[in-house]
Structure 1
Amino acid sequence: MKSKIPDNVVYSAEEGFNANILPYATNVGAPVIRVDDVVSWKSRGIDNVNKELGNKFNELRIQYQKLMEEYEWNELVYSAKFSFEPVIGEIYHLYRDANGVNFLSLIGPQEWNREHIGTFKLNSDKKWILLKAQNSAIY
């Protein structure tokens, strides 16, 4: 007959007495094992990361919109008609003539009765910086 081992003794045929290597308590006097609530920790972490990534995405979206607007204004000025070489740092005004053709001029809108589109300054990178637009929409 097989010898009976009491229930409160941890014994296995393969490992022998192995209570000291088990990842859980094996007797009544052992400390209580509590499972951490990692689900709420994960959900808080996911919420925080999603907020941070959402904020970064919105910042990038705003930067992209500004970049595209800057590109469109530069495209508009460079496609305009002018017969002089613009000087870096000088202020120029973009107008539309009666035929709908855009042209660049040094004459300000208060000195001339033409349809004024915007006021620009040429920077050292040959990029047109919008100083004042007649309307918020790009023509």
Structure 2
Amino acid sequence: MENKNVKEMIPFVPENNSVQVCSRDHVHRIHDANDPVVLYKSLIAAKETVRISANSKLSALGKQMDFLIKEANKIVEQSKRDEQLHNIPCNFKKIAGNVYYLYKRGNGTEFFSMLSPDEWGRQLNNFEYVGGYRLDGDYGFTCVDGAEDEGREEERYRQIFKRIGY
């Protein structure tokens, strides 16, 4: 193929004989890769893309940090609660894996018992049942009757719905 000018390769049709779909000047214009305007526009586009990418990555890291802070706060709250539960009097040695039941006397003092509310019978009228706790292998307590978990579950659902925009 011979070296022909671009204008020679595209046949010219007079305007009165055809419908002009696009400008002849734009069709026959050859873009120079070294054109300062083109280079400037590509530089601006690259900078914008880098900035958007960095912002989205930083946003994702921020969300992860928020999640980790919430998890750390949960751990601190659970450890405080576990420490408080370990300080409640009981007349036996606690063994990991067993369930212990927390009661409150009329004067406000609390104590742990191995007896569930059903096992107390009529004597339960003297005490207020607070909750049942299983002593885990790490010596933390897990609420077994759902007294604490109901509030946490509702809060978890609220956070999920808030995240998805409901």
Tell me the TM-score range normalised by the shorter chain: 0.5 to 0.7
Sequence identity of aligned pairs in percent? 21
Runs of 4+ in 1 over 4 A off after TM superposition: none
Q: Is the 8 A contact 1:120 1:130 kept in 2?
A: yes
- Give the alignment of 1:1-139 within 5 angstroms: 31-33=34-36, 34-35=39-40, 36-37=43-44, 38-112=46-120, 113=124, 114-132=127-145, 134=147, 136=151
- Deviations 1:41-74, CA, capped at 9 Å, x for gaps: 2431232123212211221122123212311321
- Provide the aligned C-alpha RMSD in A: 2.5
Q: Which amino acid aligns with 2:101?
A: H
Q: Which 5+ residue runs of structure 1 have no aligned equivalent?
A: 1-28
Q: Is the 8 A contact 2:79 2:140 kept in 1?
A: no
Q: Is the 8 A contact 1:116 1:134 kept in 2?
A: no
- Higher RCO (Cα < 8 Å, 6 or more apart): 1
81 and 42 in structure 1: CA distance in 2 versus 1, 3 angstrom threshold: same
2:66 is paired with a residue whose SS is helix
How far residue 89 of structure 1 moved from its aligned partner, in angstroms, is 0.8
Select between 69-78 and 38-47 the one with higher mean Cα deviation.
38-47
1:132 is paired with a residue whose SS is coil
Q: Distance in 1 between matches of 2:73 and 2:111?
A: 25
Q: How many residues align?
A: 109
Q: Which amino acid aligns with 2:96?
A: I
Higher helix share: 2
Q: Distance in 2 between matches of 1:61 and 1:30?
A: 50
TM-score by length of 1: 0.64
- Deviations 1:91-137, CA, capped at 9 Å, x for gaps: 11112111211211111134443322221111222222232353549
